[in-house]
Structure 1
């Protein structure tokens, strides 16, 4: 299969990151290898996992079995809150590499700030050490609010390359996106389809019918046209492939605005309760 033309975005350290990747949140390890293999066969080259997901081994197995050159892949993982702290975070990185069967990651994130523990700034220093030692391509954060970003940047002067947050038409996280943009931090959306909760919205369905696309493809296109990285998840090969088929149409400014308005109208209801994506 010919790899589709997935665009890349340039991180604030110059590293290129595929704008559309594959997420494995909530995928059991014994299903992860098949899911990631399907994604790689479909043309994905960016895979997002995390220590707490318990499926880094399955991701690594799929990468090894793919036979793809390592430099064609972009692999992200995250340090969980139980491994916050300077030394613990350094060990956690090494342990993720062992489980993945890799010698480096392209992107390593602090999974949650967990401010009550007051350890995320120290953890950020560990990630900065990994980066300065050339052991990781880029470092970033996940689920950080503007005040958490201000704290780590103020303490170290090192700006995260990425802030991965829950973001979809029902929860657009505008204050976080604005804080990211003002600092040159790329916004990456987890749960980009709200676990399907927004796909029945009349505005999205109408746009999909107009373009001959599915509602999921329309929502992914909405993310992409606003300059975000997006990491949809599926274990169904047909949906995995369909989520990649979003580069042959363009939403108009009016269509983008109609989706933007869904959160303001409140018609999408509450966003899914999840600990992360």
Structure 2
């Protein structure tokens, strides 16, 4: 998961990033006209990204970078929209620059880790998440993401421990709980996994991932009726779950659930 740095431009231009001051960077002296121009650009970049128009958002961030190349936040945000376009190598370059400018800020490491995950460089991703946790031991997202990278290496027990830590820090972190359920299923704790999936589906009725996971789990357990009813909800919420390649390589479900869902879909 990428963490978008939502920016108040006045804080970027005058004081640094995320409320921290950077000794290496002198406060930027800008005119009111410049301030208004770049505030508008940042708003347009964020709005474009929120609407899924990542290519346009990238153009706006590039314009801001051209004006303020020493600000790490804009580099990291451009990296985020590049990840959303699967421009992973280009995103890594942006995160590297952000880290060069702000080596003690967590977000660029967290976001670079997601790019490494997209490239299947699990150990690199884990190293970045470890760095986040050195800087902030209570970063729930870093634990969740490290669990994802560990899952990529097949280290399911390690992944489960990290998902549990993420939800301990943030009990409302639904995706960490979902990832925990998927990992428990993979190591054979199917009843624990299904109970967690059911609880999440009840609490968050629009949570397509858990509806689809229940479809696969119930189908594998010989409960076609329950599988079918959950599939109607899952597909209605997010049709991507019909694409096994997406489920396997983008959402990155564990192998056993991918196989179960594929068997269900072949009989649809």
Q: TM-score, normalised by structure 2?
A: 0.29
**Greater Rg over alpha carbons, structure:** 2
Larger helix proportion of the pair: 2
Bigger relative contact order (CA 8 A; separation at least 6):
1
TM-score using structure 1 length: 0.28
